[in-house]
Structure 1
Amino acid sequence: MFLLFTCMYSYQIFYMFVAFKAKQNKSSEIQNVLYHKYAVIIPARNEELVIGQLIKSIKNQKYPEELIDIFVVADNCTDDTAQVAKKAGAIVRERFNKIQIGKGYALDYILKIIENEYSSNKHDGYIVFDADNLLDENYITELNKTFNQGYRVITSYRNSKNYDQNWISAGYALWFLHEAEYLNLPRMVLNTSCAISGTGFLIQAELIEENGGWIHHLLTEDIEFSVSQIIKGEKIGYCRNAIFYDEQPVTFAQSWHQRLRWAKGFYQVFYKYGKDLIGNTFRGKRNKFSCFDMTMMVMPAVLISSVCIVVNGLFYLAIFLGIFDGQEITHAASVGILYSISWYYGVLYILGLITTLTEWGKIHCSGWKKIAYTITFPLFMLTYIPISVVALFKHVEWKPIAHTVVKSLDDVR
């Protein structure tokens, strides 16, 4: 299994060297920028505490105000989300549907409203955020520069507004920083395709029209969208200077339910698109490497890791039941389990440490916590093992995560 994983994921080590080099190169300033008109879309469910700060950060953008329209879909809300959003200056529509539940349905609902009711205000692109997000004041300006390079889908730099809250929120945040700078950045440099991740992304309006709206409704609609576009030959871009902040779960129960949905969603995506991804990897005419990259992303690698540990654990059970007898079997099982766990911990620790050191100035947290959370980061990631096993058998539905960290951009900094 060690050799298998080394072969399959060794290209990500190369990614890290590409990222190191890219970080040393200063990007040249783009002249004669063409300003596009954008619709900012915010699906929200019971987000009255945080949505006002997001809209404020959008209003404070250093970008022509007349070229930004803010749309909020208050999706099955039972609080004052709609009223707070209207007061803050957004165009709000309320949606009540207890059958079609999830972010994908809310996105499709508001996109159709924009198309039907605001066609005169022709938008060039849609920027999607979760209600708990906050934007750097240059976010849309920077995103617009990458849009001018010809990318029809663009993801951005995902930071955290509660990195310092505990080891769980830090675990999420550190992974998203790693994903941005050590997966998406090298993909961008190598001219392969990136992937959107939940929130903070731009889609060209024409692409949405071609798709017939937002048609992706698996539990991980973001990964489903990314994979479907890459199979079609689309290259998703990454704008590292477009920085936004989001809130991460802080309790293990919240984290368990959220990542259980993600794990189940990855299985769904692999089941639906795996054949095409693998086929395009070997026989495709476009995005062959990107299809391989996405296969490695959605393939249940954590589940394979789980199987390794379970198989070793079964030796203990066999010995306990008297099927096997002898110290050699016990020793082999013990070494196998310890080797697997220590190897994964070591690799994850190195990834977390490198990401922390290179992104040190962008992590809003005390120095000692930054170091401490590199130690707990592998533990956070290893909890994916039981999650991936449970997700394989358990029926999982979309459930909202309560957001309670009310901060302005100045508070975060």
Structure 2
Amino acid sequence: MIDILCWVLVAIVGIPLLMLAVECLLGASPSVKAPYILPPPFTVLIPAHDEVTGIAAVIRAVRLQLRLCDRVLVVADNCTDGTAAMAKACGAEVVERNDPDLRGKAYALAYGREALRLQPTPIIIVLDADCLPTRGALPRLAAHAAGKSAAVQGCYLLTGAPDATPLVRFSIFAFLVKNLVRQTGLQRLGGGALLQGTGMAFPWPMFNAAPLETASLVEDLKLGLDLRLAGRQVKFDPLAVFTSSASAESATQGQRTRWEHGSVTTMAQYVPRLIAASLRGRPALLVLAADIAVPPLALLASMMVPICALLALIAIFTGTFAPLLALLGSGAAATAALMLVWFRLGREILPAAMARQLPRYVLWKLPIYRRLAGARQTLWVRTSRKP
């Protein structure tokens, strides 16, 4: 009985560790640049809630990549500032929504979709109001979505100020691992990709029928999983890059609380559904299930330490060392893979001298995980834009 318990504990942490290691190893190498393809007309849909201070820069960056046949539509959602007026002054089409009982980006997107139904373009690109497309990202993403008849997620990364604190830098690096490296690895494993909320393109028929309205804290992740379960394709384009500035340390913790509580809840809901669908002849969904079963890195580390300690005690008293060694091996593989990612992609984000701050980063995130047990976040809260 004790042996079975030990191997169950190993599986709970060891399988996510091995999946993380494989994705990092496959995703750490650069992607091959694809030839440019002329995209069909597209609309950039920007949901915005009280974004008057930053939306002008986003609209200007978007309009630099538009042709006469392309559009930019801003949904000013429950705004109490001059977001709508600023967007109009910058040359965007604007619709305003006021419904304080139904707040969040999912409802804003559904409202924008209703406006687009009068004159839809072949491709719809969703962009957050604090997110900047890098050069050529919008037409590249539109062409990819049209060419594959699939939803396509661009590479969404955070940028930090030169004086960013070590904790913010760890968050930026974790974001890179999740949004670039693991997405690339997942796609190379045949599992497709996850949607991440901004810099994502849809063919109009798919967007028109998509289940947008939801109270989920991670409506983008949920949408991508629902599309996959419905038999639609979700792809990743690592060369269509979108960036947002990382928030200050206090705001970063609030943002991570929303993301990680929502992700853990979604994992519990969708892993069984994906496994069941994979057993019905869709093996790629098993790979996707393994990906979303990987908890946030700090949570994974904080789970591994007590389980290793427990397995060590059991090994001392029973002489059964195999489970402990298996878990340590999985942890070593994941650590080595993350170090490879850091060496190739992360040294400028996270200088080696800051490595000693890693335990502090894990401790900084522990309150987020404690709240999962009894005070889980359930309401959408806009992330602060203060640097």
Structure 1 residues 168, 112: CA separation in 2 closer, same or farther (over 3 Å shift)?
Answer: farther
Q: Which has the higher contact order (CA 8 A, sep 6+)?
A: 2
| Aligned with 2:340 (options 354, 363, 378) | 354
Q: Distance in 1 between matches of 2:299 and 2:336?
A: 18
Aligned residue number for residue 21 of structure 2: 13
Moved more, 351-360 or 64-73: 351-360
Q: 2:152 aligned with 1:130, yes or no? A: no
Matched with 1:409 is none
Q: Secondary structure at the match of 1:224?
A: helix
- Match of 1:411? none
- The aligned residue for residue 317 of structure 1 is none
**Aligned equivalent of 1:54:** 58
SS at match of 2:74: strand
Q: How far did 1:57 drift? A: 0.7
CA contact (8 A) 2:267 2:293 kept: no
The alpha-carbon deviation at position 295 of structure 1 amounts to 4.3
Q: Does 1:393 align with 2:374?
A: yes
2:334 & 2:26 partners in 1: Cα distance? 19
Match of 2:193 in 1: 194
Cα distance in 2 between the residues matched to 1:345 and 1:249: 30
Structure 1 counterpart SS, 2:73: strand
Cα distance, 1:3 vs structure 2: 5.8
Give 2:72's aligned amino acid: I
CA distance 1:240–1:163, shift in 2 (3 Å): farther
Of 229, 247, 250, the match for 2:248: 250
Change (3 A) 1:203 1:375: farther
Q: 1: distance between equivalents of 2:340 and 2:234?
A: 25
User: C-alpha distance in 1, partners of 2:26/2:44?
Assistant: 32
CA drift at 1:82:
1.2
Quickly say closer, same or farther: Cα 1:57–1:371, change in 2 above 3 A.
farther
- Cα pair 2:48 2:77 within 8 Å, conserved: yes
- 1:84 — aligned with what? 86
Task: Give the TM-score normalised by the residue count of structure 1.
Answer: 0.76
- For residue 392 of structure 1, report the CA deviation from its aligned partner: 3.0
Distance change (3 Å), C-alpha of 1:393 and 1:281: farther
Equivalent residues of 1:135, 1:245 under 8 A apart:
yes
- Displacement after TM superposition at 1:163 (Å): 5.0
Q: Which residue among 269, 274, 277 is the counterpart of 1:280?
A: 277
Q: Deviations over 1:349-390 (max 9, x none)?
A: 7565433432369x6x6xxx6434555456435644431231
Aligned pairs (5 A) from 1:41-120: 41-61=45-65, 64-116=66-118, 119=119
Match of 1:336 in 2: none
Out of 26, 34, 39, the residue aligned to residue 35 of structure 1 is: 39
| Partner-residue secondary structure (3-state), 1:262 | helix
Query: 2:3 corresponds to which residue?
Result: none
Q: How many percent of aligned residue pairs carry the same amino acid?
A: 19
1:303–1:17 distance in 2 versus 1, CA, 3 Å: closer
Find the residue that maps to 2:75 and give its secondary structure: strand
Quick one: distance in 1 between partners of 2:49 and 2:240?
Answer: 25
Q: Is the 8 A contact 1:348 1:377 kept in 2?
A: no
> Cα distance, 1:54 vs. partner?
0.6
Deviation of 1:50 (Å):
0.9
Q: Please, which runs of 5 or more residues in structure 1 have no aligned partner?
A: 314-327, 333-338, 406-413
Describe the SS at the equivalent of 1:199. Answer: coil
Q: Aligned equivalents of 2:89 and 2:289: distance in 1?
A: 47
Letter in 2 for 1:354: L
CA drift of 1:136 comes to: 1.0
Task: Flag the 1:189–1:312 CA change in 2: closer, same or farther, 3 A.
Answer: closer
Cα RMSD (Å) of the superposition?
Answer: 3.5
In the superposition, relative to structure 1, how do residues 347 and 74 fare at CA in structure 2: closer, same or farther (>3 Å)?
Answer: farther
1:236 lines up with 2:234 in the alignment: yes
Question: Is the CA contact 2:16–2:295 (under 8 Å) kept in the aligned structure 1?
Answer: no
**Mapped pair 1:166 → 2:168:** no
Deviation of 1:59 (Å) = 1.4
Q: Report the equivalent of 2:5.
A: none
Inter-CA distance 301–135: structure 2 relative to 1 (3 Å threshold): closer
Q: Distance in 2 between matches of 1:344 and 1:378?
A: 20
Which residue pairs with 1:335 in the alignment?
Answer: none
Contact 1:50–1:404 (CA under 8 A) maintained in structure 2 = no
How far is 1:218 from its partner? 0.8
In structure 2, the residue matched to 1:402 is: 384
Distance 1:158 1:171 in 2: 16
Alignment of 1:182-221 (within 5 A): 182-211=181-210, 214-221=212-219
Inter-partner Cα distance in structure 2 for 1:7 and 1:307: 12
Residues 237 and 345 of structure 1: CA distance in aligned 2, closer, same or farther (over 3 Å): same
Higher mean C-alpha deviation, range 259-268 or range 240-249: 259-268
Letter of the aligned partner of 2:23 in structure 1? Y
Output the TM-score relative to the length of structure 2. 0.81
